[in-house]
Amino acid sequence: MIRAIINRFLPYETRLRNFRLRQFNEDLKTYLELDTSKRFPVLQDDFYPCLDDKTATTHFDAHYIYHPAWAARVVKQINPEVHVDISSTLHFCTMLSAFVKTRFYDYRPAILNLDNLESEHANLTELPFATGSIESLSCMHTLEHVGLGRYGDPIFPDGDLKAIDELKRVCATNGHLLIVVPVGKKRIQFNAHRIYAPQDIVAYMHGFTLKQFALVTDDGAFTEDAAIEHAAQQQYGCGCFWFIKNEN
C-alpha cells in the first residue's frame, strides 16, 4: 500500500522505468524456470537490460529509412554502369554496391572494405571531378550541413550553395542528380542543419529539370510523387529531388 502511494507521486518516466524493470525481472525468472538445458550461463555480470523494445510496432527514423529506399529505386531505373555518391548515409552506398559499381566520397572518408565499392575523400565545395563527367550522382541529407562546422569543415554560410554549384558542374548533360534535404519552414538550426523551402531547391537547380519529388512528412508518411506546396507546409520534412541536367 505504501509503495503504491509513493509511486503515484513519482514522475511518469520513473514509474515507467520501474514497471519495465519489473517486467525484466519477471522475464528473467520465467527464462530461468524454462531453461532446462542450461546451454548458456546466465550471469548477473552479463545482464544487458533492454527495456524499451516491447512496442506494438517497430519504430524507425522515417527520414533515414525512406530516402535511401527511394534513391535505390531511382538508381535501379537509371541503371548506370557507375553511381557516384557524395556523403550520403553509409547504408545507401554499401547496399547499392551489391548491385551497381559505386564510388563514395566524404569529407571524412569512411574506411570501407567491400567489393564493387570505392571510398575516398572529397570536399563538396571543391569536387575533384571533371566538368560534366558524372552520369549518375547523389548527395543526400548532406547539403544542409555544409559550412556549419559540425563535421570539421570550415565555417562558410553559403557553403551549401557552393556545393550545389559543384554538383551541377560535375553532372553530365542528361545525367541524373539525386538531392535530399530537410524541407519545410525555412530556417537554420545551428550547428545541426539548415531546413529549406522546397521551392528554393528547385530555383537553385537552374539548368536542370525536376523529374520526381518525393516527400517524408512530419508524421513520417512517405509520398513518392508529392506536391512541392505540401512540402512547404512541413516543419521538418524530408524532400527527395530527382533532377536531370538539361542540354545546353
Q: Are 190 and 223 contacting, i.e. CB atoms less than 8 angstroms apart? A: no
* pLDDT of amino acid 17: 84
- pLDDT attached to residue 16: 79
Q: What strands lie across the sheet with 208-216, from one edge to the other? A: 117-121, 101-106, 82-86, 134-140, 171-183, 237-245, 208-216, 222-223
Would you kindly state where each structural domain of the chain is located, as residue ranges?
2-46, 62-245
**C-beta of residue 24 within 8 angstroms of C-beta of residue 51:** yes
CA distance to 15, 123, 150, 205, per residue, from 137 (Å): 50, 15, 24, 14
pLDDT of residue 5: 46
Of 157, 136, 148, give the one whose Cα is nearest residue 76.
136
> How much is the pLDDT for 7?
56
Single-letter code of the amino acid located at 163: A
Architecture of domain 62-245: 3-Layer(aba) Sandwich (3.40)
Instruction: Give the integer Cα–Cα distance in Å for 204 and 179.
Output: 12
**Distances 93 to 7, 33, 139, 153, 160 between C-alpha atoms, Å:** 49, 46, 11, 22, 22
* DSSP secondary structure letters along 119-158: EEE-BTTB--S-TT-EEEEEEES-GGGTTSSTTSPPP-TT
pLDDT in tens for each of the 248 residues of the chain? 445 544 555 576 788 788 899 999 999 999 999 999 999 999 999 999 999 999 999 999 999 999 999 999 999 999 999 999 999 999 999 999 999 999 999 999 999 999 999 999 999 999 999 999 999 999 999 999 999 999 999 999 999 999 999 999 999 999 999 999 999 999 999 999 999 999 999 999 999 999 999 999 999 999 999 999 999 999 999 999 999 999 97
